[in-house]
Every structure is written in structure tokens, then in C-alpha cells.
Amino acid sequence: MRVQMLGLCRFSYLGLRGYQVEHDTIEARRAYLYDPDRLERRWQWFTTVAVPGWQAQTDPDFTLVVMTGPDLPEPWLGRLHELCRQLPQLRLELVPPMEFHLQACRAAVAPHVDPSAEVIGHFRHDDDDAVAVDYVGETRRDFRKVKALWKSEGKLALDYGRGLMIEVKEGQLKITPRLCHNMGVALTIFLSPDAPETALNYNHAQLAQWMPCVQVNRPLMFLRSIHGDSDSGDMGPGLPWQPEEATLNRLLRQRFGVTRAALSELAARLG
């Protein structure tokens, strides 16, 4: 069964809906999203935390659509073009503001749906989060174990629940290991190729309303960042787990291609 892994990452996309931080006018929204200091912070999070895991995927057969507006200021628009040239799995889509956010997300994703695929593994990815280097490969492998459930239901969510919360406050870095349910990162929603929805159509905290959900709690699969520019600054419900300190440093390098030193430096610089 041909499974396409197809994700969407919104990089300061100019839209009035689809985020927890709200504005009354598109002018106020543009001023907030396109503030140069904020854009530079988002770029630093994106390239330091998110990009290394995508560059190092053990299964390179995936597409991550990076969605932003055609009027994203320079130098950030040029940087996105260059990054997508360097990493061909990243596809840049410039989507003008649309009345409905979900329509905008569909407009970004639809050109990249593989018509030869029998099932699409849709995922959302925030520009300051990270997935482990084997997320794509493990998702395909685990889907094979539960594909009968997808066939009977037509929809299925596969969630990796073991992660690390990266909190930055006043320039200090805090890492909290957590077991979470449907956090949104490292969560894949399997749909048929002709389905009009993307992963953004479903509130990840309420997925059980629409489809069966399978959770896998090993291995460590995501980093989630919480900081002053986060759309949501809440860690959310979860359970603790505790690796050794030396093991944690090794896990950051091996699973995500980042180092504790780089994260601490980023926290100090942006804090």
C-alpha cells in the first residue's frame, strides 16, 4: 500500500483565523506577524529546532509544505526559498489571505497530493517544534500494523506520545520529559487521497470525535517548544518520565540532531 507522508508547516502565515492569538483587523494581524524582531525569532527557532530533524530523516520519502504569505518580508521570504532549494522535501507555498483558514491550508496542500498514493498520512508541524529523525519511517512501519482499522473506518490517527517540552523563560532553558496524548506534533492523520480535509481540519485534542486513535509511546519522537512567541504557552496534560541527564543530552543529539548547548544558546539569545 502506497502511503504518502504529507505535512503542513505555517510560517507566519497571514490569516485571521486558525490561531489562538487573535486580532480584529488584517492590518493588526500583519503588524504582529511581520514584526522584524518576531520574524527573526521564529526563523531562529525554525532553523535550530525544527529543520535538523527533517534534514536527517531516515526515510526521505515525505513532503512538508511550508505555507506563508506572498508578502512575507525579506530577508525571510528569500531565506525560505533558499532552504526549500537545499531540502527538496520542503515545498514553499505562497498563499494570500483567505476568508477561511482551512480553505487556505487546503490550497497549500492540494497541489502536493500524490494521486498514485492509496492513503495520505497528513501531519501538521509548528515551526518551533521537532520530530525525531525516524518519524517518517516509524509512522509508515506502524501504520502497516493498523491499516485494517483505517480500511474499516476511512480515517485513523496515529500518535507518538513520548516527547520533551522545551520551555524558555527569561533566557533560561528548561527541558521536561512528558508523555502526552494527541499533542499535535508527531501526530499523523490518515485519510484517502480524495478527502478534502488536511490535518488542520481536526482539533488534535478532540480527535476521538471523528476517528479511532492509536497511540505509540516509544520511542521518543518529539520536541515541543514553549516560549514568549508560542501560539499556545500551555504544556497541557501529560505524565512524567525521566531519563538520566547524560542520556537526555545523547537523546537530543541522536533523535533530533540538536545539542543541549545549542538550545541553551538559543534560549539565552532570544530570552
CATH number at residue 222: 3.90.550
Q: Which helix (H) or strand (E) holds 239?
A: strand 239-240
pLDDT of 16 reads 67
pLDDT of 228 reads 85
pTM attached to this predicted model: 0.95
How many domains are contained in the chain?
1
Closest among 62, 126, 128 to 89, alpha carbons compared: 62
pLDDT of 21 reads 58
Its domain, for residue 16, covers 3-270
pLDDT of 99 reads 81
Q: How many H helices and E strands in the chain?
A: 8, 12
pLDDT of 245 reads 81
Closest among 17, 65, 63, 72 to 43, alpha carbons compared: 72
195/216 Cα distance (integer angstroms):
25
Residue-level pLDDT, tens digit, the chain, 271 residues: 899 999 999 999 997 655 555 667 888 889 999 999 999 999 999 999 999 999 999 999 999 999 999 999 999 999 999 999 999 999 999 999 988 899 999 999 999 999 899 999 999 999 999 999 999 999 999 999 999 999 999 999 999 999 999 999 999 999 999 999 999 999 999 999 999 999 999 999 999 999 999 999 999 999 999 998 876 667 888 999 999 888 999 999 999 999 999 999 999 998 7
pLDDT of 26 reads 84
225/268 Cα distance (integer angstroms):
14
Closest among 151, 175, 150, 265 to 225, alpha carbons compared: 175
pLDDT of 246 reads 85
pLDDT of 24 reads 72
